[in-house]
Amino acid sequence: MSGKLEYTSAELVAVMSSRILEDNKIVFAGAGLPLISAILAQKTHAPNLVIVFEVGSLAPQVRIDKLPLSTNESRVTYRAVMLPSIADNFSFMQRGYIDYGFLGGAQIDKYGNINSSIIGSYDNPKVRLPGSGGANDIISSCNKIIIAAHHEKRRFVDKVDFITSPGYIEGGDSREKSGLIFGRLYKVITNLAIMSFDEKTRRMKLEAVHPGVSVEDVINNTGFELIIPEKVSVTAPPTERELKILRELDPERKYTAPAQ
C-alpha cells in the first residue's frame, strides 16, 4: 500500500487516530488500539494528552511493558492520579470533562449508529455479541466521538440491525430530538479513509483517503452511499518514527496485527 514503509491496516488506523488527538485534552481510551493511539499521540505531538480508563482510572501512565488487556484491570492504574468508582467516572463524562471517546463496532451505519449487541433480530439473533459495555455511554456523553474500525462492506452497513450506541440516528436533528444534546461524532477512521458527517443531513462523508487508496476503493468497501465531496485529500503516510513507537508499544502485534 505504501511506497517505502510497510505497515498493517491496524497500524495505519492507530497512526491516523493518534494524529487527531490534540494536546492538553482528555481521551477516554479503551484497551487495544485506542490506548495505543493515545500513547502514540503522547509520545509525538501531544505529551500532555490525558488518558482516562472506563473502570475508573484518571491520568495513569501505563507501563509499556505491561499494557492492559482490558480497560478494567489493575494494569490500567499505574501512576494514576485518582481511581474513582465506575459511576463517578462516567459522571465526569456526563459532566463534560471527556474530550474524546473512541468506539468500534460490528456494524456502523451511514449516520454513525453502532451495533455491538445483536446481528439479526432481537428475538431471534443470528449472533449475540457481548454488548454495549461503556460504548452507549461514550457516544451519549463524550464531547467528540471517534469511530475507529476496519473498513469492510459487512461492517459499514446501510442500517445497523440494532442501535447499541446512537450516532445521528436517522439524520437531521433526530439525535438532538432523542434527548442527546451533547457530544458529536467527530471522525470515522479506517484503514482506507477518514470520514466525518455532513452538517445538515448528518450522513457520513468522505474526507480523505490514505496513501495508495482510491475513492473507488472506499466506495467499494462501504455498504451505503457515502457523500463524496469534490475535493478528497490524501493523508500523509505513517512516518518511520510513528511506526517505530507503535512497534515498541506492541512488539507482539497483539493489537496492530493484520486484519483477519
Partner 1 sequence: MVDFIEARKRIEQKDHSMREKVMSIEEATRLIKDGDHVAFGGIQFSGTPMAIIREIIRQKKRDLTISRTIVSFEGDLLLVGGCVKRAITSWFSGGVTYGVSKIMREYVEKKKVVYEEWSHYSICLRYKAGAMGIPFIPTFSMLGSDLLKHVEAKEMICPFTGQKLCLIPAMFPDVAVIHVHRADPYGNAQIDGLPYADADIARAASKVILTVEKIISNEQIRKEPWRTVIPFFCVDAVVEVPYGAYPHECYGIYEPDYKHFEEYTKITREKGVEGVKEYLDRYVYEPETFEDYLSLFGLKRILERTKAGREVYL
Task: Return the number of the residue (60 or 238) whose C-beta is nearest partner 1.
Answer: 60
Task: Return the number of the residue (64 or 86) whose C-beta is nearest partner 1.
Answer: 86
Instruction: Write out the E strands in 89-155.
Output: 100-103, 107-108, 114-115, 118-120, 125-128, 144-149
C-beta separation of 39 from 49 below 8 A = no
Site membership for partner 1, residue 190 (CB under 8 A): no
Site membership for partner 1, residue 8 (CB under 8 A): no
Q: Is 194 helix (H, G, I), strand (E, B) or coil?
A: strand
C-beta separation of 168 from 109 below 8 A = no
Site for partner 1 in 18-37 (CB under 8 A): 30-32
Least distance from partner 1 to the Cβ atom of residue 86, Å: 5
Angle (nearest 5°) at CA 137 between 132 and 143: 135
Site membership for partner 1, residue 158 (CB under 8 A): no
How far apart (Å, rounded) are the C-alpha atoms in residues 52 and 182?
19
How far apart (Å, rounded) are the C-alpha atoms in residues 148 and 103?
6
Exactly one of 23, 64, 96, 131 binds partner 1 (CB under 8 A); that residue is 131
Task: Return the number of the residue (182 or 224) whose C-beta is nearest partner 1.
Answer: 182
How far apart (Å, rounded) are the C-alpha atoms in residues 174 and 59?
34
Task: Return the number of the residue (137 or 207) whose C-beta is nearest partner 1.
Answer: 137
Site membership for partner 1, residue 252 (CB under 8 A): no
Site for partner 1 in 35-64 (CB under 8 A): 54-57, 63
- What sign has the CA pseudo-torsion 97, 100, 106, 112? positive
Known active-site residue 242 = no
Residue 43's contacts (CB-CB under 8 Å, 6 or more residues apart) are: 245
Give the residue carrying C-alpha cell 494528552: 49
- Pick the catalytic residue from 6, 22, 54, 73: 54
Exactly one of 84, 171, 172, 223 binds partner 1 (CB under 8 A); that residue is 84
Window of 17-25, 39-47, 77-85, 199-207 that interacts with partner 1 by CB under 8 A: 77-85
Q: Is 146 left (phi over 0), alpha (psi -120 to 50) or beta?
A: beta
Exactly one of 18, 37, 140, 191 binds partner 1 (CB under 8 A); that residue is 140
Least distance from partner 1 to the Cβ atom of residue 156, Å: 19
Task: Return the number of the residue (22 or 170) whose C-beta is nearest partner 1.
Answer: 170
Exactly one of 87, 216, 230, 252 binds partner 1 (CB under 8 A); that residue is 87
With DSSP H G I counted as helix, E B as strand and the rest as coil, what are the percentages for the chain, rounded to 5?
25, 20, 55
Least distance from partner 1 to the Cβ atom of residue 199, Å: 19
Contact residues toward partner 1 (CB under 8 A) are: 30-32, 54-57, 63, 66, 69-70, 72-75, 77-78, 83-87, 90, 93-94, 117, 122, 125-137, 140-141, 162-166, 169, 174-175, 178-182, 254
Q: Which residues are catalytic?
A: 54
